Structure 1
Amino acid sequence: MPLTPIKSDDPVHLAMQGLFPDYNPACLEPAQDLELLRGMLRPRSSGGVKGLVHRSFQGVTRRCPRPLRELLLGLAHRLRCADPELLKEPNQCEFNRLVAGVRSQGSRQRGYAGKRAALCLSYDVDLLSCYRFLPTLLDQLDQRGLKATFHLLTDWEYRLDPALVEEVSARGHEVGLHGASHDVALGYRRDERIAGELRRALRGLGKNVHSYRAPALCMTERLMARVRDLGFRIDSSLPMSSMFHPSTQSCFPYPLEPSGVLWELPILLQDSTLFLDLGLSQEQAWSFVETHLKQVLELGGVGVINLHPSWAAKYSGFHGRLLDAAREWSDFAVMTHKEVYNCCRWGGAAPSAPAC
């Protein structure tokens, strides 16, 4: 089958090229709604009303005492409009189905460190309670020989200890950036302020990093552009499927632009979705995660589980079961965000960190 020229700025074809070294656009079925898929893969700015809500919430809570802020945050979670019908399993997602269709025609799909699928344990350290539990969490991971990615804040509820940052790296984990403060409205600020806040956060971190995650997953095109300009390699703010956010319908990493410098690593599931939004028990939550991971394995994708250390402490039975499964599930390569990026972008070679 002859190769068809590929539009260099088409997100669907760019994503497929990242997944299939021998990708042929002719493998796509004519009936596929590529325009819909393009909209899913490109990060999209939310409307003005949502931006106003985020700015108002941030303005009210920024100066609140921590207990009151946590109370207001919990109230906001309960009041937001959730639609569980929008939460899809991997096999139900449109882009995942497209990938499965291309693979069924004989295209050779990329693997992950010799495994068919990858699992990323990803932690957002966005509260003082998260930060305090971090040493215990590092020990739990060490006991199982697991690596994870930690997205840190630098100017919020906790004072970031440089020695702890270095300890996270020394133990083989990846340090990523979650921001300076947990500003859920950052993506709706002026370009200069967004860039300034990101630079301030990087100075506070004192470390060049590859991975970024927007506070509360509030990613916009404006914020994405600044993340790219500052040299990040990976964004992991867009969910595969969500009751609230625009979702990618993908459990596969993919380049966000033709240069292939910045890649999206979609989130498969969050602990807050399981326990706060869906109200599951620990047993139900594990069954939910297990079902999703089995489908990711079948698809040959990447399962990014976004966790919070404070929730790992509160729901220790679920968290321990997840870590044990990650250690024992031999079909998955347990990888950091940077390792997934290196595998996809460079075939496993490790580029030097960007000078952020």
Structure 2
Amino acid sequence: MSVRMHIPGVSDLTAENKSPFVYNQWYVAALSKEIDDQPLARTLLNEPVVMFRDGDGEVSALADRCCHKALPLSAGLVEAGGIRCGYHGLLFNGAGQCIEIPGQAIIPKRAMVKSYPLQERDGLIWIWFGDEQTPQPTCDAPNYPVHNDPNYVWDGDVYHYQAPYQLIHDNLLDLSHLGYVHLKTIGGDAKIHMNADMKTTTEGDSVTVVRHMPNVTPPPTYSAAFPFKGPIDRWQEIDFQVTHLKIWTGGADVGSCDLNDPNRGGFHLKGFHGITPESETTSHYLWTMATNPALERESVLQKVIDQTAFTFDEDKVVIENQYRNMKQFGNQPMISIHVDSGANRARLIMERLRTQPA
């Protein structure tokens, strides 16, 4: 079957009422560990934002532009009361209000910058992007209790992609590529990956892909982190949401547990993948990986994080090369095969939700 795919940067949007992004959503803006006593600048959904942590430890996000002479606020200094512009010293609090102008007692009412709703949960900073009718959140940001589970240790990092966000969605929803792209880490026999028992379901705005591979040789990353006795029963569970994905993969000694049991044992990798557009053609990829080592927790975690980063480096090369080639060849049709079912369903959801904000 051939499919046509909109290629950002190659052709105009397919319909005038379509936006490149989905609004009225919580997006991952940063990892908590990224925001300390220095401002953090990041463009999100084409909007330049500066994030900072005040003297009480609260994180705020403002438009990265001083209302006086337009210097980026991220070029200034973080203080206990907010962020101070590095040009003339105007001080803005977390709500975007100017609370001090050096040498001037009266502060104009218009001395303010746009602020964005933020929530910090489970080591993640979430930012609300609403349309004009919904500037304030209609719900709390998602929680991710894995980060607070004492059975797991975790860490993460941030990648910048020269590629549209939906190509990253495609990659994460199709783990059949592991056998070809990630031979040195989480891969394995390519034929086994391509022929895995796979079930794809859709519910509302989410897609779930479950893949089972019984009685297979553990890949290098698994063997380095867990004392398997021999072949393993392996699973991959992908939960796609509009702004992020949760992927639980792992393996257990053959026959030692039911792969449908949510409390199964064995070696676990629980990945969080926040895919936040920077622009229509560039993306931020904020990820964490949690694992459940029985012994030497910190050293095993470091191995897992190093291997995960190496794996994501490989994915980044593939996706950016893919996008460059898509632009070179133009908006030509591409075929769809059986492993694309999750990605195709996710694209239909995103297409439906990408209505132009009023």
Say whether the fold is shared (TM-score over 0.5).
no
Q: Highest CA radius of gyration, 1 or 2? A: 2
Of Structure 1 and Structure 2, which has the larger fraction of its residues in helix? 1
Structure with larger RCO (C-alpha < 8 A, sep 6+): 1
> What TM-score, normalized by structure 2, do the two folds share?
0.24
> What TM-score, normalized by structure 1, do the two folds share?
0.24
